[in-house]
């Protein structure tokens, strides 16, 4: 069921501004039995609107604050100027579109001038605010009814006159409006073009990517969801999947951030964890499908990661002072709003902070619109390795997921200095404790930075010298063995005999010595074997077996042969030695004497 209500008076100006174009079809709005016209209708609308593109919106950050028991909407013009405030209860997050801020609270819908915060109009409604679109003269609003199903669409002029009201069973997403036409996405694949003058469906776009948003940026109109499609001369090919559509490169990012949240959802006035893990990007307004500056960013609480839009490769990392809860992309960079009410501009190329402003108070949520602003970039000389090191070293449990992700990025860097950073992260008492195992595993896979690995092995536990945490000997040993670094052998046998070396590290040390040890290490290996061969400890057995194999390789078989016949040798080790030393012909061991070993 649907109901259309029309107030024609204010639309006469729209009718004069835009004459009717060819290819329009009048039909039932949101009819699922619509006959596909192969894009002819939407192509005609595109040609009609091309000479008069959507105006750019106001560049503004809008936050929701609580002060003295009142809810405040706070706006800060991104081009400078004093923040403005407007007090009103809110049932959902306000929407910023074009030149207006739309809010709804206690059954009162209202619109503010986005630049100054001045009230434009208000009216009583039922439902909750989803989203809004605006072209500088008319605002189209999508509401969720009280039932939670279907939609109410309102088209209202900046003077507060209702041009049209539609109630429908379909969930209608974030709308856009250009002149006499409203663009209404629904059912995840359609965008209906509603003629605000006549009330019928003027055209319909069919897309093969999920869509729940219609919006304008930089004077161009877009339909978006999982991907973003520009309304240009290829929009007629949307049903064939050949329109000008940009998608993000596939990357598994912490928190599973989204570029565009579902346009059919109602978002609370207070930001949630989903707002703190978000993707920001700006589609190109001309030329081939792509993203402005070939960049997109992902936020994870107060961490911002910048990516190459073509390859998905990490380009830079930066760290904020508070959790980021809103933002937008502009040509040349990104603007982000945090819980403190601080607004920061980041250069797209390097992530350098280019400018800052403030909403003047902490905010519960924040919505940013950056349509035409330009901010001169500032240089950033800090290399990616140092950016990564700074974030992964933070002892912050909330950031562990993004730190694990960045640790993988750091591990992929070939720089010797990356090895040094991994040594620090893998050492007890250094970096985030939850990352230690991942750092140890990454360190074991290193094939560069041998000088840092050798230097770390020279550090031994020494309480008096304030060296209370030994280096991550095990993974260092594994890395040096893979590099065939024979200089490590004397350092490794020293750690083999060091009681401070953990059992897990001993296994990797013994494995490395099996490849690296030479005749000079035989005395130390014999000492270790003699000290521990009698211990009936399953966890120590692999270490002793590796040491025995190394001694055999180096020709020191006499100690192994004696151990096979010695009753004080642990039974499990004797069995392994028997299998290892095939040249020996051990006799059955005599019973153990009642006292200790000789």
- The strand ranges marked E within 135-210 are 138-144, 151-157, 162-168, 176-178, 181-186, 190-195, 201-206
The CATH architecture one would assign to domain 3-246 is Beta Barrel (2.40)
pLDDT digits (tens, 9 = 90+) for 251-282: 999 999 999 999 999 999 999 999 999 999 99
What is the Cα–Cα distance from 5 to 143, expressed in whole angstroms? Answer: 16
Dihedral, 44, 45, 46, 48 alpha carbons, nearest 10? 90
Beta bridge partners of 97: 100
Q: How far is the C-alpha of 12 from the C-alpha of 480, rounded, in Å?
A: 80
Q: Write down the pLDDT at residue 430.
A: 56
Res 15: pLDDT: 41
Over residues 458-470, the pLDDT tens digits come to 987 655 455 556 7
Lowest mean pLDDT among 9-23, 81-95, 486-500, 529-543: 9-23
Residue range 273-369 forms a domain whose CATH class is mainly beta
The model's pLDDT over 183-194, given as tens digits with 9 standing for 90+, comes to 999 999 999 999
Give the bridge partners for 109, in sequence order: 104, 123
Report whether 564 contacts 574 (CB < 8 A): yes
| Span 540-554, average pLDDT | 96
Percentage of the chain with pLDDT > 70? 90
Based on its alpha-carbon atoms, the radius of gyration of the chain, rounded to whole angstroms, reads 34
Instruction: Kindly indicate the confidence band of residue 217, based on its pLDDT and cuts at 50, 70 and 90.
Output: very high
Residue 28 pLDDT: 67
Long-range CB contacts (within 8 A, 24+) of 141-148: 141/95, 141/102, 141/109, 141/175, 142/172, 142/173, 142/174, 142/175, 142/184, 142/263, 143/104, 143/109, 144/171, 144/264, 144/266
**Tokens linked to 312:** 């998905």
Integer Cα distance of 336 and 334 in angstroms: 7
pLDDT 10s digits, 61-96 = 999 999 999 999 999 999 988 899 999 999 999 999
Provide the sign of the torsion angle of the four alpha carbons 31, 36, 42, 47, taken in this order: negative
User: What are the residue ranges spanned by the domains of the chain?
Assistant: 3-246, 273-369
Q: What is the pLDDT of residues 87-126, one digit of tens each?
A: 999 999 999 999 999 999 999 999 999 999 999 999 999 9
Strand order across the 128-134 sheet: 3-6, 162-168, 151-157, 138-144, 128-134
- Structure token digits, residue 515: 């490849």
Q: Give the torsion through C-alpha atoms of 200, 205, 210, 216, to 10 deg.
A: -80
Note whether 3-246 and 273-369 share their fold: yes
pLDDT tens for each residue of 349-386: 999 999 999 999 999 999 999 999 999 988 888 999 99
Helix (H) or strand (E) holding 440: helix 436-444
Task: Measure the CA–CA gap between 125 and 593, rounded to whole angstroms.
Answer: 96
For the segment 310-346, what is each residue's pLDDT rounded down to a tens digit? 999 999 999 999 999 999 999 999 999 999 999 999 9
* Crossing angle for the helix pair 436-444 and 400-411, to the nearest 10 degrees: 10
At 584-593, the pLDDT tens digits run 444 344 454 4
pLDDT at 31 over 90: no
Structural contact between residues 93 and 108, judged by C-beta atoms closer than 8 angstroms: no
Residue predicted with more confidence, 15 or 87? 87
What confidence tens digit (pLDDT) does each residue in 128-147 have?
999 999 999 999 999 999 99
pLDDT bucket at 348, cuts 50 / 70 / 90: very high
CB atoms within 10 A of CB 379: 9
């Amino acid at each position: 069921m649907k109901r259309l209500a029309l107030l024609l008076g204010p639309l006469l100006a729209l009718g004069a501004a835009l004459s009717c174009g060819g290819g329009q079809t009048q039909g039932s709005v949101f009819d699922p039995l619509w006959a596909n016209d192969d894009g002819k209708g939407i192509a005609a609308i595109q040609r009609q609107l091309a000479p008069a593109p959507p105006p750019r919106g106001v560049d503004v950050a809008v936050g929701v604050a609580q002060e003295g028991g009142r809810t405040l909407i706070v706006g800060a013009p991104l081009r400078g100027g004093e923040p403005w405030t407007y007090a009103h209860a809110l049932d959902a997050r306000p929407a910023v579109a074009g030149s207006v801020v739309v809010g709804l609270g206690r059954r009162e819908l209202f619109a503010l001038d986005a630049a100054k915060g001045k009230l434009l109009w208000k009216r009583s409604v039922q439902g909750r605010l989803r989203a809004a679109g605006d072209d500088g003269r008319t605002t189209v609003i999508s509401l969720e009814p009280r039932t939670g199903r279907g939609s109410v669409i309102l088209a209202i002029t900046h003077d507060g006159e209702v041009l049209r009201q539609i109630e429908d069973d379909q969930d209608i997403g974030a709308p856009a409006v250009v002149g006499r036409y409203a663009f209404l996405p629904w059912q995840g694949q359609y965008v209906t073009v509603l003629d605000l003058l006549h009330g019928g469906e003027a055209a319909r776009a069919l897309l093969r990517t999920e869509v729940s948003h219609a919006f304008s940026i930089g004077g161009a109109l877009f339909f978006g969801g999982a991907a973003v499609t520009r309304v240009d001369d290829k929009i007629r090919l949307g049903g064939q999947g050949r329109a000008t559509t940009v998608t993000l490169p596939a990357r598994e990012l912490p928190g599973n951030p989204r570029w565009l949240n579902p346009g059919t959802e109602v978002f609370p006035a207070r930001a949630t964890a989903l707002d703190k893990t978000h993707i920001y990007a700006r589609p190109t307004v001309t030329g081939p499908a792509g993203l402005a500056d070939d960049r997109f960013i992902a936020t994870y609480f107060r961490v911002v990661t910048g990516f190459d839009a073509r390859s998905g490769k990490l380009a830079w990392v930066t760290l904020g002072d508070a959790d980021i809860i809103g933002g937008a992309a502009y040509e040349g960079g990104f603007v982000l709003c945090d819980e403190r009410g601080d607004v920061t501009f980041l250069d797209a190329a390097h992530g350098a902070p280019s400018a800052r402003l403030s909403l003047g108070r902490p905010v519960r949520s924040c919505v940013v619109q950056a349509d035409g602003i330009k901010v001169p970039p500032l240089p950033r000389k800090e290399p990616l390795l140092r950016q990564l090191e700074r974030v992964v070293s933070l002892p912050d449990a909330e950031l562990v997921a993004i730190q694990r992700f960045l640790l993988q990025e750091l591990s992929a860097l070939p720089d010797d200095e990356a090895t040094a950073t991994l040594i620090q992260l893998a050492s007890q008492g250094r970096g985030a404790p939850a990352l230690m195992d991942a750092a140890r595993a990454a360190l074991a896979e290193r094939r560069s930075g041998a000088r840092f690995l050798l230097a770390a092995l020279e550090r031994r536990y020494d309480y008096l010298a304030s060296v209370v945490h030994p280096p991550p000997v095990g993974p260092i040993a594994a890395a040096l063995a893979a590099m065939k670094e024979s200089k490590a052998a004397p350092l490794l046998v020293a750690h083999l005999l060091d009681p401070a070396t953990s059992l897990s590290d001993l296994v990797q040390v013994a494995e490395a010595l099996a490849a690296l040890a030479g005749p000079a290490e035989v005395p130390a290996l014999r000492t270790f074997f003699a000290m521990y061969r009698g211990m009936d400890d399953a966890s120590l057995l692999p270490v002793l077996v590796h040491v025995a194999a190394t001694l055999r390789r180096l020709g020191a078989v006499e100690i192994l042969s004696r151990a096979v016949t010695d009753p004080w040798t642990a039974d499990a080790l004797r069995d392994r030695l028997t299998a290892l030393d095939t040249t020996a012909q051990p006799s059955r061991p005599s019973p153990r004497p009642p006292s200790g070993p000789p």
